[in-house]
């Protein structure tokens, strides 16, 4: 927290707007749209809620299929199952670790050959790194399949100068406590399609029909953000550029000091089109060259009270999704086996970073 957040929260109390309605909600939506360049925004209780509503808006129903990145957090996939649809898991490309466009097209062709109905594609911008959106949008357009961009980890990231979430039919953000900015809990759905966002707001407020009494013609959800949390979000948006700068500074520090070590590798922005917010700095450890495994480094850092974490375990390895159709190339399996997320908080001091660095070097010097 930077301090301005409390003033917006106080405004919510002063105006007596505590529920999921009020001036902070309206202004937060306007600020997100202005920052991302996407015309309309609905702020919600979570990014997961945004994906769920996005799938409903795009017409996903029981028996349909939705193509989704396998290398991601389960929240990208769970809402597909909420609707009775089947996730079709697609592996990663080596450059960005995001969905491989070649495998995406292979999956579309194969599912169509089998007579399956692919209703949507959910693209995840992993750890803030943009996916190859020019290829993905080209393929999606060719086959007439709408794209939802899961930019939960990628606020502040851009591809070819455009903010992530602005390429597909619908974009999703998360403001969970671990994201680059936070409202404690929360998320957003945004789109250039006004009707999509209006429908999201309608469904997120229990789908109450316009009537003097309580009347419902559709199943609704309690997914709107409160005016209090939107106030926190307004304060956070005042420092989003600083947060991106701080996260990228973490990456630069680690890369400059560890990038030449044998067996350690960082994921790079492939070319000038890619700009990552570097939400988390991640490394790959080749045990044959480094002499240590990912697990050994993880445990050694834990002994120093330094929190690190393995990369996402791919969805095709998860028991709950292991029976889903999957188009694999081994990339995400290797990333999970060798990858580690390093401490990347926006509030890391020079002393903090140096302590982490010294601890990592000590492990490989043993």
Tens digit of each residue's pLDDT (9 = 90 or more) over 327-365: 999 999 999 999 999 999 999 999 999 999 999 999 998
- Tell me which residue of 316, 319, 318 sits closest to 327, measured CA to CA: 316
Same domain, 38 and 104: yes
Same domain, 272 and 221: no
CA 276 to chain centre: 12
Same domain, 30 and 176: yes
Query: At residue 239, what are phi and psi to the nearest 5 degrees?
Result: -120, 20
Same domain, 214 and 324: no
Domain final residue, candidates 239, 270, 299: 239
Query: At residue 86, what are phi and psi to the nearest 5 degrees?
Result: -110, 125
CA atoms within 13 A on the CB side of 111: 28
Residue 366 has pLDDT above 80, yes or no: no
User: What confidence tens digit (pLDDT) does each residue in 132-152 have?
Assistant: 999 999 999 999 999 999 999
User: Which residues 6+ apart lie within 8 Å of 242 measured at CB?
Assistant: 346
DSSP H helices, the chain, are 4-14, 23-36, 47-57, 78-82, 101-113, 133-143, 194-204, 227-237, 240-258, 287-290, 294-303, 331-338, 350-365
Residue 32 has pLDDT above 80, yes or no: yes
User: Which residues 6+ apart lie within 8 Å of 227 measured at CB?
Assistant: 12, 15, 17, 18, 19, 20, 21, 22, 23, 24, 25
Cα separation, 187 vs 175, whole angstroms: 5
Same domain, 50 and 110: yes
Same domain, 107 and 223: yes
Question: For the chain, how many structural domains are there in total?
Answer: 2
CATH of the domain at 65: 3.40.640.10
Domain, as residue range, for 271: 241-365
Angle at 359 between CA 358 and CA 364, to 5 degrees: 95
Same domain, 178 and 283: no
The β-bridge partners of 148 are 122, 170
Domain final residue, candidates 193, 208, 239: 239
Same domain, 212 and 306: no
CATH of the domain at 328: 3.90.1150.10
Same domain, 15 and 156: yes
Q: pLDDT at position 211, please?
A: 87
Q: pLDDT at position 2, please?
A: 83
Same domain, 108 and 54: yes
3-state secondary structure of 356: helix
**In contact, 33 and 183? CB cutoff 8 Å:** no
Q: How many CB atoms lie within 10 A of CB 177?
A: 10
Mean residue pLDDT of the chain comes to 96
Residue range 247-274: mean pLDDT, rounded = 96
Same domain, 279 and 187: no
- Tokens read off for 94: 């080596």
Domain final residue, candidates 239, 268, 300: 239
Same domain, 315 and 180: no
Cα separation, 366 vs 363, whole angstroms: 6
């Amino acid at each position: 927290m930077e301090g301005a957040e409390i003033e917006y929260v106080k405004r919510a109390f002063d105006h007596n707007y505590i529920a999921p309605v009020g001036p902070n909600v309206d202004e937060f939506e306007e600020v997100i749209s202005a920052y991302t360049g996407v015309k309309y925004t609905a702020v919600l209780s979570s990014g997961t809620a945004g994906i769920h509503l996005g799938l409903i808006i795009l017409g996903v129903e029981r028996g349909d299929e939705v193509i989704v990145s396998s290398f991601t957090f389960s929240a990208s996939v769970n809402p597909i199952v909420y609707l009775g649809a089947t996730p079709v898991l697609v592996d990663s490309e080596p450059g960005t670790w995001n969905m491989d466009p070649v495998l995406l097209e292979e999956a579309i062709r194969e599912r169509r050959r089998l007579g399956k109905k692919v209703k949507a594609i959910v693209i995840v911008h992993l750890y803030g790194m943009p996916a190859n959106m020019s290829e993905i949008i080209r393929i999606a357009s060719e086959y007439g399949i709408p794209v939802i961009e899961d930019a939960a980890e990628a606020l502040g990231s851009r591809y070819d100068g455009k903010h992530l979430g602005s390429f597909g039919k619908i974009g999703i953000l998360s403001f969970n406590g671990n994201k680059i900015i936070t409202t404690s809990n929360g998320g957003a759905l945004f789109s250039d399609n006004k009707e999509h966002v209006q429908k999201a707001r309608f469904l997120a407020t229990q789908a109450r029909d316009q009537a003097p009494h309580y009347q419902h013609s559709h199943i609704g959800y309690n997914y709107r953000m409160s005016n209090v949390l939107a106030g926190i979000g307004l304060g956070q948006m005042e420092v989003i550029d600083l947060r991106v700068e701080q996260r990228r500074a973490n990456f630069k520090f680690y890369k400059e000091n560890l990038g030449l070590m044998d067996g350690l590798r960082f994921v790079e922005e492939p070319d000038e089109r890619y700009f990552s917010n570097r939400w988390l700095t991640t490394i790959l450890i080749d045990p044959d060259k480094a002499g240590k495994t990912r697990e050994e480094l993880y445990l050694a850092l834990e002994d120093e009270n330094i929190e690190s974490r393995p990369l996402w375990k791919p969805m095709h390895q998860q028991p709950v999704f292991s029976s889903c159709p999957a188009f694999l190339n081994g990339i995400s399996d290797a990333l999970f086996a060798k990858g580690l997320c390093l401490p990347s908080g926006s509030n890391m001091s020079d002393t903090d970073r140096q302590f982490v660095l010294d601890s990592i070097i000590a492990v490989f010097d043993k």
